[in-house]
A and B are shown apart, each in its own frame.
Chain A
């Protein structure tokens, strides 16, 4: 309303009044227009700010970074410190993230947030609940449940009380809630996928192991029953073959069982009982254990005379060599050569087992040492445990193990044995 009085004291004429009314109308339109313009401008700005946040939220995959982005946007747009509270494992609301990171809220704010979480209602200044509080509490309401609570502590409470601001803040909170819900569901789906994957692996392992157990058992049962049933019908050559089958398959079964037991021992946390010793000994012991299966195959050992003693658990390192040699025997032609070498280096000795077989398939190199990984050669029997056991044992020694193809054909498996400090009290033998 506009009040006018004539300075001269005389009355306004009718014409004056008409002009004034017109002027007033023009003025009010202008004010209205200005208000409309301001409103539009504010809306435009709000829309821009909201868009900026939404854009970041949809491009952020994980829940934590997503929440952090949301807090930062709210903090900047509303000039506030912001905390998000989420229910912990026990279902109790607890602060999860803060913007800025040093933000502390008063203890009574937690009580208000609990109320907000429970009642799914906004609380704080300018709202119908806890209006004396200087902090706004907004529920993060997803499509299925309440996800948590946002605590927004503005620098200037008045700014938040300006028309439309509260509504805008609520829109921000909704956006965040929906994005968090979406990301949580995606994470849960990924976890479920992992569980299914693990389950699939377990059942494929079970089928692979039960196959590996059943095949030799079937061969043994078959051969033994043939010998029992009609042994006089078979000529000595066939009898001998049947007996060999029984022996070889039983040995295969024994190896599989030992591997399974080794894996179990490794997984329950094995302690390598390390003692300083020459590598010649374990290499010799491993070759002796495989003597029968290595028959007719050229095996070269390159162990330099100046090789230092290495701190190893001989029983375990013998197992590593046996598994590597066993693999080489299985995957390469029976007359192709094998090479065992040791190379002293800086702080470690490298041991190599090399063959001239078909080599490794591309992509196998990394996965070979995974438990139950069977490589591309599915036709060769085995449970996929040998190399995983090797890796476990070498890691227990603080070393590394790897595999690669050799330049002129074949594969080489290589492991390192770190030399810690030189043992005390070792003198060179009296010469």
Chain B
């Protein structure tokens, strides 16, 4: 099938530290040939084993047979609804899924994330942004499969010691309330990837609070005031308007 083809990674192509750890396998499900072409060029040069599919059905078949480490999925496919694909993939695997969507489809992004997609990138996007999301998702998956995470999370001046439950900025300890701490560690677990309002409310407050987004916003504001030099220009705790929050990584 001409649309479904693997392109082997060139061993010498990726710069150390930027490519995936082993040569990770990616399945791209996208109907636009131009987008597939540029993703192929970018991802192969980064050392990924690259498989592509132009339709949802082919994509599901590729996802099942190639055992990918990450799936890139366009939400607007001609044959199957992208959300339906996420639902079906999630029936058998927790493989990271990164969604490609239009900027103004907040509703679809949130649905995709709540159905189990790991992150999204809005078209048009730069390849650097996509690669950062993929790295974060792969890291997240690796930690989840090992059932343990690094005991200390470090990002710039921010340090979160998960074992001793201590948070510091630039070496100075910051006192967080239990809820603030839980909020921060939830974001740490997904570091680099977006977490929706609903997911955060559910994980921090419990399922009955899923619709109380203003709770979350008030606590996030408080957390920023404690951790950020300028809460209006956050370095760590980024807002994704209409969707959720992202703890910056890299």
Contacts and interface: CB of A to CB of B under 8 A. Distances in A.
Contact of B104 (A251, A261, A275): A261
B124 A276 contact: no
B177 A309 contact: no
B79 interface: no
B180 interface: yes
Interface stretch (B41-49, B112-120, B132-140, B227-235): B227-235
Nearest to A261: B104
Contacts of B215: 425-426
Interface in A272-311: 275-278, 280-285, 287-288, 299, 301, 303, 305, 309
Interface in B188-231: 212-215, 217-222, 224-225, 230-231
Contact of B214 (A275, A280, A284, A305): A275
B232 A288 contact: no
A265 interface: yes
Contacts of A219: none
Nearest to B222: A429
Nearest to A429: B222
Most central of B180, B225, B233 by chain A CB within 10 Å: B233
Contacts, number: 84
Interface stretch (B16-24, B153-161, B237-245): B237-245
B166 interface: no
Contact of A315 (B106, B178, B179, B222): B106
Contacts of B222: 429
A429 B214 contact: no
Contacts of A429: 177, 179-180, 218-219, 222
A315 B218 contact: no
Given A280-B221, A280-B231, A275 B213 contact: yes
B149 to A, nearest CB: 26
Contacts of A265: 104
A14 interface: no
Contacts of B212: 425
A358 interface: no
A281 B230 contact: no
B103 interface: yes
B230 A301 contact: yes
Nearest to B197: A275
Interface residues of B, number: 31
Nearest to B243: A315
Contacts of A340: 232
A258 B177 contact: no
Most central of B103, B218, B241 by chain A CB within 10 Å: B241
Contact of B242 (A251, A258, A301, A315): A315
Interface in A323-342: 340
Contacts of A303: 231-232
Given A309-B217, A423-B214, A281 B241 contact: yes
A157 interface: no
A250 B212 CA distance: 39
A181 interface: no
Contact of B221 (A262, A278, A299): A278
Contact of A288 (B180, B217, B220, B238): B238
Nearest to B220: A281
A11 interface: no
Contacts of A275: 213-214
A285 B239 contact: yes
Interface in A44-101: none
B124 A278 contact: no
A425 B211 CA distance: 12
Ranked 7 nearest A-B pairs via Cβ: A301-B232, A315-B242, A314-B241, A285-B239, A281-B239, A276-B214, A429-B222
Given A251-B124, A288-B233, 10 more contacts: A265-B104, A281-B217, A284-B231, A284-B239, A301-B230, A305-B225, A309-B217, A315-B242, A429-B219, A430-B177
5 contacts: A285-B238, A303-B232, A315-B241, A423-B214, A425-B214
